[in-house]
Amino acid sequence: MPAFLELPHENRELWHAVHDHARVSEAQVARALALGGPWHLLVLNEPWCGDAVNTLPVFARLVEHLPGWTMRIVSRDANPDLMDAHLTGTSRSIPVVIVLDGDFVERGWWGPRPQALQTWALGPAARAMAKEDRYREMRRWYARDRGVTAVDELLTVLERARAADLVPAREAPAPIARPDRGSQ
């Protein structure tokens, strides 16, 4: 994340401010540490994204506490095939955080915003608002939440991926014995 913050882009001051104030709880760090690792977060993003500026700095703070974990941000627009594999419905909404295991195999993904906020943003009350008012309310939601919900949802994606590793593979059923029909 620090390298991303140094790139020239819109909202640079806002990105720095959110990053400087981003925190994760000890409980969230403990949940993440319990997942083992390494884990890699590949993020599809563009610097103008308001949802990203409110979530990615908090994800970066989480990764800072986790040995063997990495987070890399790549351009949505420069990676259309990857973006098209992670659409929100039919939309190229960002950010998208792709969870990769230690072998860089995709295990799940999160995005573009916390589910409660996404539900509100797509609902009739938000749709009835002017775009500027809707975005102001979304910024207020993010300010109150401080990234807690986004981190919890990302950890849930990781926990599901880890749980899938722990479930023993089911044995294939024995083939059904067929009576020998001989020549007919």
**Chain segment 114-169, per-residue pLDDT in tens:** 999 999 999 999 999 999 999 999 999 999 999 999 999 999 999 999 988 765 55
For the chain, strand residue ranges (E) read 40-45, 70-75, 96-100, 106-110
Mean pLDDT of 36-62: 92
Range of the domain at 20: 2-112+147-164
Mean pLDDT of 96-106: 94
Mean pLDDT of 28-55: 93
Q: Residue 148 carries which side chain, given as an amino acid letter? A: V
pLDDT digits (tens, 9 = 90+) for 8-36: 467 777 877 888 888 999 999 999 999 98
Of the candidates 64, 35, 28, the residue with the CA atom closest to the CA atom of residue 147: 28
Mean pLDDT, the chain, integer:
86
Residue 174 lies in a domain: no
Residue 170 lies in a domain: no
Give Cβ neighbours of residue 28 (< 8 Å, ≥ 6 apart): 62, 148, 151, 152, 155
Residue 130 lies in a domain: no
Residue 122 lies in a domain: no
141-161 CB burial, b ≥16 within 10 A, e <16: bbeebbbebbbebbbebbeeb
Residue 48 lies in a domain: yes
Residue 106 lies in a domain: yes
Q: Give me the number of domains the chain comprises.
A: 1
Res 180 pLDDT > 50? no
CA distance 31 to 81: 32
CA distance 168 to 6: 45
Residue 41 lies in a domain: yes
CATH number of the domain where residue 23 is located: 3.40.30.10
**pLDDT at position 6:** 58
Residue 131 lies in a domain: no
Q: Are strands 96-100 and 70-75 parallel, antiparallel or unpaired?
A: unpaired
What secondary structure letter does DSSP report for 86? T
Q: Token pair of 102, please?
A: 């230690």
Q: Token pair of 2, please?
A: 């620090």
